[in-house]
Structure 1
């Protein structure tokens, strides 16, 4: 460059610069890590062209082709490894099975998955291979069983709409007719859990895991159960196990990523959900919702805002619940009374689908209220929800015996939230109702005496005075 001269060697030969296979392979890995699969495939293919017997490079190219959806090309490379390089490379059989399943060639997929199972019963992909065999069997059963399809869809619809007893009846029929259809067991566990029958739900998950060890949907459901119960020890133990799992089936990867996001383990959630996004996975609004949240809370702010646009496009109702809406996050605790009010009236109006599908019931108190409401709507006697049971009975009393309506009930839920936080013992529905009514009428400037409020709810003035003193301390 400039005045510099190139010094030739004494024979005046020009030595050309060239890249060997390792260089192209290294470039390919860098492109892959950046999510640029097209460039990665070109560089790694060039490396394979230069070193056609390098098993590691060929395997990598096959896996990139799989992520790009080029399943036939991937299978050609995997078959080449088995036939010409390393006949005992058992992992190739699993990869072949996975690709054939994506192509819809379930007979071939089953054949290669069984070869892998026979050759490597404890192999590194043994759990994923079992999941794949289960999926293949489900697909083959579904092809030959209209009855299963109809029942499965009906049960799922009933579950999503909060009709749990009806869903349970159908799911039990499916289990009887198809005893290894694990999806029905998992949905049955969810139905029991929504009804507040937590032990039954856990028993169902335990049954699945005994008969089908490593069932990812069962493990994810169990993790959600622990989260709703606030069982931090069990959460930590199960997360430690699941964080090492990287499913190849997109549905399983989505399930795991969304579960991690729901319980607030955002780095693990981002790894799974972003990997799907990079592959071109077209998810629903819930997929993008959790991808945006996990992105934001590990510092990928611009990407989170980009993804949030997809959320709003698919579900405009989510406007205002952005992860960067720090005001909303800081006020989450303050908004609990309003959300308890919405849960209470959803129960009164039998809006089960709202209770099941709403994503923003974040606190323990709200989650207990949802489970209580769903149990009541499904004709069950709720157990373990004494505080919520009491709160809703006071709300009933206020609605039945006064004309103040929702504003008075909301006032009660504000006091109740603080009482719950301070672990106050809840007794005497009429006394609390009278105290809340008295304080509310005073607050809005209405004429009322303690004698009048006490008589209205059939309690003594002394009892009312005692409860008014407690309630006043909660007005903060």
Structure 2
């Protein structure tokens, strides 16, 4: 067979790149997108692959996602200002003249490329009256975008650090002080956030961003009366612009005021004025809780283009988890038997995502539990170190990890553990005692000692010793 007739399927990034450029020149945008994505996937660090892929994404209606991709690369590359040229070109394709010009101005200033600057002025037909103010406005826009990018990717400390790199006069502007307060809130630095927000509201009582953040502050610090007072202001006052509408909508969505949040946020999505991870995430939750399940899933899918998030955090999976928690509350947590209540707490801790428990009425029931059970709550959710309950928990984890997840089996361990602890308080060999309990009391099937020794990483001697101790209780 003539090897020259064989088409190689192991193409490198350069081959896909050349084919993609050719398809783009032929105005075949969909095929160009597929090919340039393959080139980018082969070598995401190649700036040519990245920029051309971003441009063709925008030409296929994925401009917001393309901008996110470029900003992500800019952040990863230590804020290399050469990316501003690609961001400028991208926004020309998107027909966002303001961003295109401001990114271009920043690139020209960074690179000292006067010809590029002249091209921008001719393209956008502008005459610059105040050069310093223009460059300051560019710094503001870019500063806001980079902060939001870091913040929404859960890099909150980095977002705060980035703010300190901006000129001091920009840092003191209301917009950036609000961003700083938002980051402090997220990091539970409530005193720092309160100081900033009180000053912002003293300067301007109608600052919707500060009102939104102060509402969240009172919510997190459990200042009920103040929280309700500020919430009423948010629900009554109509935001004056899209930026304020976006902020208030996000806060109301977080506070589970889904109908009002959707009413504020959906028009922004429809007009394509704002399109980012936060908007799509909020719309996915608000629409789901308004019964718009398919719409919610559509937002969730589009959101993945900005930031990948496991489906377990989706509104429908969180709803399933919340229902499981409430079912366990009804089945075991309200029982008179303390050991069943401990079982409920353990099973609740296994439900993913753990955030599903936030805001549920179950916390009212937990507040009514006795001190022993509250200690277990602190152990499960706050990392409190405990000896007695810690050993009980190790046993439950061993059973769960080895597939013995039946509630009757887990409850049996809790019951026998407490009886055993009264007799042998200092036992550390939890593995052998779990195996002994299964050998002696497991009712569904007879388990051999050989199987239990291998499964629970113990020895025949230790297992037999544990079985003898069980006979003493």
TM-score (norm 2): 0.42
Higher relative contact order (CA 8 A, sep 6+): 1
